[in-house]
């Protein structure tokens, strides 16, 4: 199934309030793409909560998987992990997911990050340098020099790739908060590149406006959001009410199931024992996206699929309920 257990093999203190957890699968292994994230189950007095943390490691650098967690005020998940995760701690996670990943590692890219937003950006940066041929420019904003996560690693990579990697730091202690004019000056020379943005909301809004104003055609954004539910919790499938049927193509096999109209497609597939991908189960991450081949569905909630995605037949399995008696979907083309 999508959930698996991993063991923390090392805790790296990146800054005063950010720790990296080096992870080793206890059984099997998992593949991931640069910029993807893990959904982690975190114990609590009310059973458990789930939080998503980006992988800062690269699948191309022959290094173990690693997530970076930055303590946030009032953040239960981040504080629990920073305070309690030690070498040997076992965590339950969902398979890596997310669409914050470049189409090609050979293209020139522009990366903008602030604070812990560097985590998925670092994965992309290292992957491009190791497995690609393009040039990489990073603009990284922080409060001060002591807050810069991966400072030493960025210095090392800049020295190793002086012709391909350019890093510009924006320090609030020196330059004040990022400004439209300042970001425009730093990013204008790279307006023809694919851009990736990750960081706090105000920084993302400002950076997006600057890049839009420069005419940047490809802007990919990753926003950190807290889950309101527990995606690890199994959902009971109602076998007594009205239902249709769904034919599903997944992992090279095609199977047909009864689909109760009150249940989301993902719940039906998981209850049937299929290893259907998912992460948030809230319609906010696209990890469960599949393609509607025939029939019609309703999406209860959708924060990630745009009009073109929907026109192309993409649906969210965690939010889809049948409108027609027969539905066909495939994960092979998603």
pLDDT at res. 228: 67
The confidence band for 277, taking pLDDT boundaries of 50, 70 and 90, is confident
- Banded model confidence at residue 45, pLDDT cuts 50, 70, 90: low
211 and 130: one domain?
yes
For residues 162 and 84, membership in a common domain is answered with no
Flag whether pLDDT at 203 surpasses 60.
Answer: yes
Does residue 262 register a pLDDT over 60? yes
Considering the domain architecture, whether residues 113 and 199 belong to the same structural domain is answered as yes
Shared domain for 30 and 130, answered yes or no, is no
Confidence class of residue 29 from pLDDT cuts 50, 70 and 90?
Answer: confident
The burial class, CB within 10 Å (0-12 / 13-18 / 19+), for 174 is exposed
The CATH number of the domain holding residue 116 is 3.40.50.80
pLDDT tens, residue by residue, 161-192 = 999 999 999 999 999 999 999 999 999 999 99
The answer on pLDDT for 333 being more than 70 is no
Provide the mean pLDDT of the chain: 92
Residue 226 pLDDT exceeds 70? no
The whole-number pLDDT of residue 46 equals 65
Top pLDDT among 138 and 238 is at 138
With a pLDDT cut of 90, the percent of the chain lying above it is: 73
CATH number of the CATH domain containing 315: 3.10.20.30
Q: How far is 16 from 18, CA to CA, in rounded Å?
A: 6
Whether 264 is covered by a domain: the verdict is yes
Q: Name the residue range of residue 58's domain.
A: 3-94
Say if residue 15 is in the same domain as residue 87.
Answer: yes
How many domains does the structure of the chain reveal?
A: 3
CATH number where 29 lies: 2.40.30.10
- Rounded to 10 degrees, what is the CA torsion of 315, 91, 4, 124? 60
Cβ atoms of 326 and 244 within 8 Å: the answer is yes
Same domain, 113 and 212: yes
Q: The whole model's pTM is what?
A: 0.83
> 85, 19 in Cβ contact below 8 A?
yes
Q: What angle do CA 267, 232, 37 make, to 5 degrees?
A: 105
Shared domain for 213 and 125, answered yes or no, is: yes
Q: What is the pLDDT of residue 332?
A: 83
Are the CB atoms for 222 and 285 separated by under 8 Å? no
Check whether residue 124 and residue 200 sit in a common domain: yes
- Report pLDDT for 182: 97
pLDDT on residue 97 = 84
Q: Please, are residues 12 and 65 in contact by the beta-carbon 8 Å criterion? A: no
């Amino acid at each position: 199934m999508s959930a698996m257990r991993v063991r923390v093999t090392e805790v790296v203190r990146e800054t005063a309030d950010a720790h990296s957890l080096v992870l080793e699968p206890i059984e099997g292994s998992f593949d991931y793409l640069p910029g993807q994230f893990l959904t982690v189950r975190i114990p609590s007095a009310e059973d458990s909560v789930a939080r998503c943390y980006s992988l800062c490691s690269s699948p191309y650098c022959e290094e173990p998987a690693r997530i970076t967690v930055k303590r946030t005020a009032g953040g239960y998940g981040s504080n629990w992990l920073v305070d309690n995760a030690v070498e040997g701690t076992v965590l339950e996670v969902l398979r890596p997911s997310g669409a914050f990943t470049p189409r090609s590692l050979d293209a020139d890219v522009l990366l903008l990050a602030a604070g812990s937003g560097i985590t998925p950006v670092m994965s992309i940066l290292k992957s491009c340098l190791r497995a690609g041929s393009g040039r990489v420019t990073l603009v990284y904003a922080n409060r001060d020099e002591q807050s810069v996560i991966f400072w030493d690693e960025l210095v090392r990579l800049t020295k190793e790739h002086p012709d391909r990697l350019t890093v510009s730091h924006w320090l609030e202690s020196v330059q004040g908060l990022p400004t439209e004019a300042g970001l425009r000056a730093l990013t204008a020379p790279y307006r023809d590149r694919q851009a990736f943005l990750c960081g706090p909301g105000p920084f993302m809004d400002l950076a997006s406006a600057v890049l839009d104003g420069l005419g940047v055609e490809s802007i990919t954004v990753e926003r950190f959001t807290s889950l309101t539910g527990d995606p690890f919790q199994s959902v009971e499938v109602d076998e007594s009410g009205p239902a249709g049927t769904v034919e599903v193509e997944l992992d090279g096999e095609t199977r047909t199931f009864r689909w109760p109209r009150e249940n989301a497609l993902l719940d039906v597939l998981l209850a049937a024992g299929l290893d259907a991908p998912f992460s948030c189960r809230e319609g906010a991450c696209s990890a469960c996206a599949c393609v509607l081949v025939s029939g019609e569905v309703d999406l209860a909630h959708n924060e990630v699929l745009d009009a073109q995605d929907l026109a192309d037949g993409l649906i969210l399995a965690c939010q889809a309920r049948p409108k027609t008696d027969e539905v066909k979907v495939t994960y092979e083309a998603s």
